[in-house]
Structure 1
Amino acid sequence: MEKPLITQAMIDAYDEYTHLTLDRRRFMERLTALAGSAATAAAIAPMLAANSASAEIIASDDARVTAEDVTYPGGSGEMKGYLVRPKDASGPLGAVIVIHENRGLNPHIRDVARRMALEGFVALAPDFLSPEGGTPSDEDKAREMIGKLDPAATVANAEASLKYLATLQGVNGNVGAIGFCWGGGLVNRFATKSPDLKAGVAYYGAQPAAADVPGIKAALLLHYAGLDDRINAGIDAYKKALEASGKTFEVFVYDGVNHAFNNDTSAARYDKAAAELAWQRTVEFLKKNLG
């Protein structure tokens, strides 16, 4: 079979499946109708999804970093996470919380934490499903579990992650956060509640309520995908609220790319040019704000 053509309608259907109302059976029915056959749909589905086999851009045993699984006190129980440091750092470093998508703490997010460490930060990728026993291997199950998390308790666990990071040896006390998809939304919510978060980077994340924006203390960098109508519907109101409250923020919309454009394990949605530009801006922003 030749490489199948993936249309925007197929990508939109996948987004509805992973974020809104479609279940797996109805998604495959819709994909089959769009693709023209069940066989073609079966070939396309893995290209829309994330492929954990391609998650390691930075090898887990890369000699330039030290990485370990850690546990630490959460808001009301134990949190688990993945802590990564640059191996040959000189002097205290800024720290970054790396917040996963709605799939939980998976190999891709661990890889992003290693990338962040190679940029000169101490990186912690918490598992926000720790209160429910941790991230399962089944992505559908992980999405279901994340949908049931209590928002206030999740923000409390983000604050606990910040406190844990800020006091680690080799950290300069400045902590930021970067999040993707569900994690981007959490960065936005977390920023409205945390007096100590110095910088937040949200990739295609849902916006907080305008009434909560005055509570933001952190500088914000907001990345959006031009084709992501679902999330982009909230940009204007968020910008208006940020401007009215005199907050420090930057917004970038990457034309012609889809939600999850940064996730290089998703062949259909990843956009190399947009991802590299957004990453460059992210690193510069975090270095400016975290030292």
Structure 2
Amino acid sequence: MSDHLQAAPDALTPGDIDQRIYDLYDEYCHGGIDRRAFLARAAVLTVGGLAMAQALLPRYAQAQTISFTDPRIKARYVSYPSPGGSSGTMRGYLVQPAGTGPFPAVLVIHENRGLNPYIEDVARRAAVEGFVALAPDGLAPVGGYPGNDDDGRALQQGLDQAKLRTDMINSARYLKAHELSSGKLGATGFCWGGGMTNILAATLGAEMQAGVPFYGAAPQAASIPAIKAALQMQYAANDAGINAMWPGFEAGLKTSGAPYEMHLYPGTQHGFHNNSTPRYDEAAAKLAWDRTIAFFKQKLA
């Protein structure tokens, strides 16, 4: 093992990290183990494993690409009704392009830990491209994103999952009907949010025009025929659990006639779009985001 792997976690690059550490991190991110177990198991898995594990923990301050004070956008937090959800009320981060609108609308759905700074940045990226974006915080009914992913993950796991999904559906309808919205609705999401994007497409039917799930779980097979939105799937190459769902999902889409396209990014890990950890793949993330924006501009025009 090279001396480079004994360096500070910030010095590690994606290629330095053992695939087994990536797999362990994926288990941690999805709630299979806690932070303590993740670090402890990584430390004994390989030489330099603890440094690799520490390098994968998010560094949000370094990942911001669009400032919340950027003059091209206007951002604020909004509250809105969510009947049937966790508390009856939701809160989200609403970002619009400078100007009066209306604008095509894009819902940006977080991972399994609430509305963290990375997802807020993605909403700002969408607004810079001409969309009014809403990033709902599924943790709003329990106090909101707590400031760190470990507590956020625990809070989200503790919610009634059906009510949480209802909160996301209500968020989509709130955004579609918003005065800044043109009425054309798209949705994108990451990990849990990617799966939720697929669920939204199946639930909203013709109410939703386009969806771009990033490494999201497939919806229930029986719900796929209800999908009317055009879908653009973004998949990581090293993501066995999610990718195993694709053949059945694709078969359902072919049967339903829903338009779709799928992109698989060689050499990437689950979470490759998230630029706050070394799972980030700059080239793949840029290509996937460029495709996402082009897709929304075409389908939400």
| Greater mean deviation of Cα atoms: 254-263 or 19-28 | 19-28
Aligned equivalent of 1:264 = 275
Residue matched to 2:255: 244
In 2, Cα distance between the equivalents of 1:239 and 1:213? 10
SS in structure 1 opposite 2:268?
A: coil
280-289 vs 42-51, which moves further: 42-51
Q: Deviations over 1:155-186 (max 9, x none)?
A: 32222212221222232111111100110011
Number of the residue aligned with 2:232: 221
Distance 1:169 1:46 in 2: 44
Asked whether the 8 Å contact 2:175–2:181 carries over to 1, the reply is yes
User: Corresponding residue for 1:137?
Assistant: 147
Name stretches of at least 5 consecutive residues in structure 1 with no aligned partner.
none
Please point out which of 174, 178, 199 is paired with 2:210: 199
Question: Which consecutive unaligned segments of at least 5 residues does structure 2 have?
Answer: 1-5
Instruction: Report the 3-state secondary structure (helix = DSSP H, G, I; strand = E; otherwise coil) of the residue aligned with 1:84.
Output: strand
Q: Does the Cα contact within 8 Å between 1:94 and 1:174 map onto a contact in 2?
A: yes
Q: Is the 8 A contact 2:233 2:262 kept in 1?
A: yes
Instruction: Please list the CA deviations of residues 244-285 of structure 1 after superposition, one character each: whole Å capped at 9, or x if unmatched.
Output: 11111111111110000000111x200011101111110111
Describe the SS at the equivalent of 1:226: strand
Match of 1:189 in 2: 199
What residue number does 1:62 align with?
70
Cα distance, 1:125 vs structure 2: 0.4
Structure 1 pair 286–73 and aligned structure 2 pair: CA distance change class (3 A): same
With the length of structure 2 as denominator, give the TM-score of the two structures: 0.90
What is the one-letter code of the residue matched to 2:147?
S
In structure 1, C-alpha distance between the alignment counterparts of 2:159 and 2:234, rounded to whole Å: 24
Question: Structure 1 stretch 18-27 or stretch 222-231: which is displaced more?
Answer: 18-27
1:92 aligned onto 2:98: no
Amino acid at match of 1:236: P
Alignment-derived partner of residue 283 in structure 1: 293
- Look up the equivalent residue of 1:224 and give its one-letter code: Y
Note if contact 1:75-1:153 (Cα within 8 Å) is conserved in structure 2. Answer: no
When normalised by structure 1's length, the TM-score is 0.93
Aligned to 2:171: 161
1:53 aligns with 2:61: yes
How big is the alpha-carbon RMSD for the aligned residues of Structure 1 and Structure 2?
1.6
Aligned counterpart, 2:123? 113
Deviation of the 1:232 alpha carbon:
0.8
2:41 is matched with 30
